Amino acid sequence: MSARVAVVTPRPERRDRAERWTPLLEKRAEYHLCDSPDDPEARAADLVMVDDECADLDRWIRRLVEAGRPLESIVVFGGARADESVAWGHEGTDVLATISDFLDRRELLQEADEFLVELQESNDRLERHRRRFESLVLEQADALRGMNANLVREVDELTRLQSVARHFAAPGPAESFLDRLAEQLGLAFRAEGAALCRRNGPAWEVEGRWKISRRNALGMAPDGDDPGHAGVRPSTRKDRAGFWIPIEDGPAGSGLALLIRESDAPAANDPFVDSVRSIVREGLETRAATRSLLQRKSQSERILQTLRGGLLKVGPDGRIALANPACAEMLQSSPRDLEGLRLADIFPQHACEALEAVPEGTGFVDELETYVKTRAGRHVSVSVRASALPDSQGRPELLVLVSDLSRRREVEQEVRKADRLAALGRLSAGVAHEIRNPLAGIRTTAEILRGRLSGDTGHEQFVDVILEETARLDRIVGSLLQFAKPPEPRREPLDVASLLERATQLAAGRAADRRVALHPAPKVDPGSPLADRDQILQVLLNLILNGIDATPEGGEVRLFMEGAPGEVRITVEDDGPGVSPAARERIFDPFFTTKPGGTGLGLSISQNIVVQHGGTLRIEATDFGTRATITLPTDGRGATPDRGGEPWRTS
């Protein structure tokens, strides 16, 4: 049934506007416009919207309320009483919205009434089904009451035995296991208290108890070495009897003390007592064995977790069944991701053939030097040992020990490089000294000759070439001596920001000539390392000039500085072509250069200076060019820096 809505207003302009609502409301309600609240249509409406301009409005509203009309069905509009009425709104939109809200609520209430009717019908059907089911249950119960009483007793005993067995299947926290086992045993015997006791030498101790005192429980335990027999024992409580059940025999025997009513005490030869004894004995033995097995498993897992070398277990199907964290780290993966892979996914063919032959009866693999493939495709040199191990079904499994040789080879390479550089330094020092003396004579002679040929432009230019080349040779000799015998740094607190500012000023001319933008480092305070200002300035200026020379016209060279715990990092980035892969391993070698006219000593000398300060110099290839990073300690340490890891990494 549609709702009836009446809008009462004496104002013509509002009636005109309200008449336009008819198309909006005709499908949802019977809509009427009235001049007076006394209009019959207004009295019969479900919702009355009354303009506050109606005459004698308060009296009429009181009459409607006294006649039983609910207040929520009377709405005053107009806005004259802002605290009581609904505003007319723009062209009556607020009143129209109020009517729509009322109709929405009315439809919702109708739907709710329909739902309640359906719900009542459903409840009636459920009630009929319930009564029918109740009748069936009563009939079934009457049939079950006629079953044999012995079967009921056996089912009850079986249920109580299951509750005890279930406790061993899901033991819960270990610290309260015996107390809860005593509770389960007490409930199984319908006792009011229970305690598990164990012999400790000549005396007994209570290991777990439930609703029984230690004194009462120990009073039921037998004397001497005899574990006793099942039967009634005296109790400290006059209204209750004690009952003792031996569980385990021997010097470390155990037993169960029960506090029970005499009427509920079982017979000494009751099969239920023997069943409980067997379950508890086997459960305790299994629990002890399980705890021992778990301890061994936990110890094995700790060994696997802390083992520094890699370990793989390969199942009979040829797939990896287990990998320890060290092996996963070596392969840049996780133990879970390695599980299920085949040996061929990690090792090269010759290593796979040797490893796969072990389970077939060839014995073992000892110190096989090969490599493994990481997830990123990098090859890591390793040493492999392998042996066969049968699984629980006798099928052969393979245990593979993997040792990382890359660090060892890096150390060996560093030692060989250090020996080579030391020999080269000694040779360079000797050559430099032998060259410098005759070079000084050549320069002096050329200067004298230039003075005598003054005005002879035809020959004077040749003398100038001799002097220029002599100066260049002298710079090379100086670099050789600095490489061979670098001066000891004069350490003092270094202002990194002012150092970068000075290096930028010195390199600004070269950058302007090559039309390269040189961006100074942002103003931050990275910390103050103890360092030789002139030597670090030499290193920094060398890196900046290298970056400017490598950057094409219109490119950029960027400087950065940042502080980290215990160190300061200074970075120089350029937009150059980078360094070719062939030159990466030789970037710090003396006399190696890719720059026309270079001596190949700049980076070698720079690295020596940084190493003397206990820092590192790292050159990295990036997507946009090259990045050089100087790392200096701020705690004044001068230890040789760690050279572990790859000297190059691609961003």
State pLDDT tens for residues 15-65.
777 777 767 776 777 878 887 777 788 778 888 888 877 777 788 788 778
| pLDDT tens digits along 152-184 | 666 666 676 677 767 666 666 766 788 888 888
Average pLDDT, the chain: 77
The larger pLDDT score, comparing residue 81 to residue 584, is at 584
582 three-state secondary structure: helix
Whole-number Å distance between alpha carbons of 419 and 621: 28
Q: How many CB atoms lie within 10 A of CB 531?
A: 30
| pLDDT tens digits along 524-582 | 777 888 888 888 888 888 888 888 888 898 899 999 988 888 888 899 999 888 877 77
Q: What is the number of helices (H) and of strands (E) in the chain?
A: 18, 21
The larger pLDDT score, comparing residue 227 to residue 176, is at 176
C-beta separation of 608 from 579 below 8 A: no
- Measured CA distances, 445 to 72, 438, 449, 454, 502 (Å): 120, 10, 6, 14, 38
The percentage of the chain sitting over the pLDDT mark of 90, rounded to a whole number, equals 1
Q: Averaging pLDDT over each range in 118-122, 285-289, 526-530, which range is the top one?
A: 118-122
In the block, residue with structure tokens 């039983």 = 68
Q: Averaging pLDDT over each range in 146-160, 232-246, 344-358, 468-482, which range is the top one?
A: 344-358
pLDDT at 423 over 70: no
Structural domains of the chain ordered from first start: 3-112 (3.40.50.2300), 155-293 (3.30.450.40), 308-404 (3.30.450.20), 410-484 (1.10.287), 492-633 (3.30.565.10)
pLDDT at 210 over 60: yes
Give the pLDDT score at 651. 25
C-beta separation of 525 from 563 below 8 A: yes
Give the pLDDT score at 479. 59
Give the pLDDT score at 646. 33
Q: pLDDT confidence of 608, banded at 50, 70, 90? A: confident
The larger pLDDT score, comparing residue 618 to residue 229, is at 618
| Nearest one of 504, 493, 557 to 529, comparing CA atoms | 493
Give the pLDDT score at 648. 30
Q: pLDDT confidence of 484, banded at 50, 70, 90? A: low
Regarding pTM above 0.85, the answer is no
Q: What is the DSSP string of 455-509?
A: T-HHHHHHHHHHHHHHHHHHHHHHHHHHHHSPPPP--EE--HHHHHHHHHHHHHH
Give the pLDDT score at 152. 61
pLDDT at 133 over 70: yes
The larger pLDDT score, comparing residue 304 to residue 130, is at 130
Residues 6 or more apart from 10 whose CB is under 8 A from it?
Answer: 35, 36, 51, 53, 54, 55
pLDDT at 418 over 60: no
